[in-house]
Amino acid sequence: MAEIPRNQVARTARLAALPLGAAGRATLGLGRRLTGTPAETVTAALQQKTAEQLFTVLGQLKGGAMKLGQALSVFEAALPEENAAPYREALTKLQEAAPPMPLATAHRVLAEQFGRTWRDRFASFDDTPAAAASIGQVHRAVWADGRRVAVKIQYPGAGPALMADFAQLSRFARLFSRLSPGLDIKPLLTELKARVLEELDYTLEAQSQRAFAKAYDGDPDIIVPRVVASAPKALVTEWLDGTPLSAIIATGTQEQRDRAGSMLALLHFSAPARAGLLHADPHPGNFRLLDDGRLGVIDFGAVAHFPDGLPEPLGRLTRLAIDGDVEGVVQGLRDENFIRPDISVNPDRVYEYLRPMLEPLAAPTFTFSRDWMRTEAARIADPRSEISMAGRSLNLPPSYLLIHRVTLGSIGVLCQLGASAGYRGIVERWQPGFAR
């Protein structure tokens, strides 16, 4: 029998400790309530402790667990404020921070990918990581021609660790669902796992980044750093300065928030038409707002291919819903298998379920907010309501799953930003089927 690496045993043990720790805290909380401590005080303390343990472990694991944490972080805006506050700081930490790999290990990976004389390619190389993420860490450096560059180095063994993490995480879906009772974690895990193998090959990421960089070359609104060199487990790109979106969410001006929101929407809807690709990892750590107002995009490990642009039925059905064509919407949903042939629905209830979600496109401008997202989350998650029942009768075809996840994630970031912008105009220009 093959020996299980010691570090993987430790990772599995930390994951396994999550539900045990939650159970222990619940028991402790019951004891405190029996001794007279107010229930709300106990609940708040339990939430904070659960958040601290959950996201500390996710950050330490770096792999599939941290990937899930990053995906979940964009949904933080949907949580009720009394629940969101304990989680927010821990979630934000996941977006750009993780313990670095040993320096000797980073050097070994570079030698394996670029040869023993890898240092000759650089005028200088900063041994201190500038950032760390789910499957790799980034170092500052200066290329031999004088360009400032970012060097992304993949953690050794990231592939097997990711697969093991996903296997463990699928067992604890109920625990993670405490973040948002209406969010089904298992399909998210399945979809993330399907994509993660592509992310492990940095040559594929380099191809995607080159396509984006070419599509947005000279663009006044969006900038993509050029790829300088690539290998399967190491990637060198031009360095990009700017204010991380996480910092703008925390302390940015309203002008910065509005600009960032507008540019995020522009990237989401225009990239499939311009690059044939959809940026599929919309957490704030992947974006920077430059001083000149451009949005910098720095990670292309997760993309979806749309050589013909976004699907036309999405735009057409959205326009029909905004225009109040109930029958047209329901028939279109059936045509695209959002309503399966064997399912009977009340058209008015289906329309009432969908229409409020489209408010951001019903007027020339819209302000995304945490309150709006919480209201929508509560409206569609109430199992007792007819509206919620109508929503549960709808199907999500596999071909639309990734678009659905990325769109929800992008909306989550817009709500964290509290961004006001003319989203309708962006969609009219770039979403096939939407414009009249």
Question: Is position 248 within any domain?
Answer: yes
Which of 173, 169, 218, 217 has its CA nearest to residue 193? 169
Please tell me the total count of domains within the chain.
1
pLDDT digits (tens, 9 = 90+) for 181-208: 434 556 656 766 666 677 889 999 999 9
More confidently predicted of 354 and 74: 354
Long-range contacts of 98-107 (CB under 8 A, 24+ apart): 98/59, 98/60, 98/62, 98/66, 98/132, 98/133, 98/134, 98/137, 99/59, 99/60, 99/62, 99/132, 100/129, 100/132, 100/137, 101/137, 101/153, 101/155, 101/156, 103/127, 105/156, 106/137, 106/139, 106/153
Assigned token pair, 93: 């930490």
Question: Is position 271 within any domain?
Answer: yes
Question: Is position 105 within any domain?
Answer: no
Q: How far apart are CA 52 and CA 321, in angstroms?
A: 42
Question: Is position 123 within any domain?
Answer: no
Which of 230, 224, 221 has its CA nearest to residue 153? 230
Domain that holds residue 368: 243-436
Q: Are 308 and 275 in contact (CB under 8 A)?
A: no
Q: How far apart are CA 168 and CA 158, in angstroms?
A: 15
Assigned token pair, 45: 């303390």
Q: Are 126 and 140 in contact (CB under 8 A)?
A: yes
Q: How far apart are CA 199 and CA 219, in angstroms?
A: 26
Q: How far apart are CA 73 and CA 298, in angstroms?
A: 18
Residue 81 CB neighbours (<10 A): 10
Question: Is position 38 within any domain?
Answer: no
Q: How far apart are CA 43 and CA 50, in angstroms?
A: 10
pTM, full prediction: 0.77
Question: Is position 350 within any domain?
Answer: yes
Question: Is position 261 within any domain?
Answer: yes
| Model confidence at 23: pLDDT above 60 | no
pLDDT digits (tens, 9 = 90+) for 320-368: 999 999 999 999 999 998 888 888 999 999 999 999 999 999 999 999 9
Question: Is position 247 within any domain?
Answer: yes
Burial class of residue 326 in the structure, from the number of CB atoms within 10 Å of its CB (0-12 exposed, 13-18 middle, 19+ buried): middle
pLDDT digits (tens, 9 = 90+) for 134-160: 688 999 999 999 999 999 999 888 777
More confidently predicted of 49 and 341: 341
Left (φ > 0), alpha (ψ -120 to 50) or beta: where does 319 sit?
A: alpha
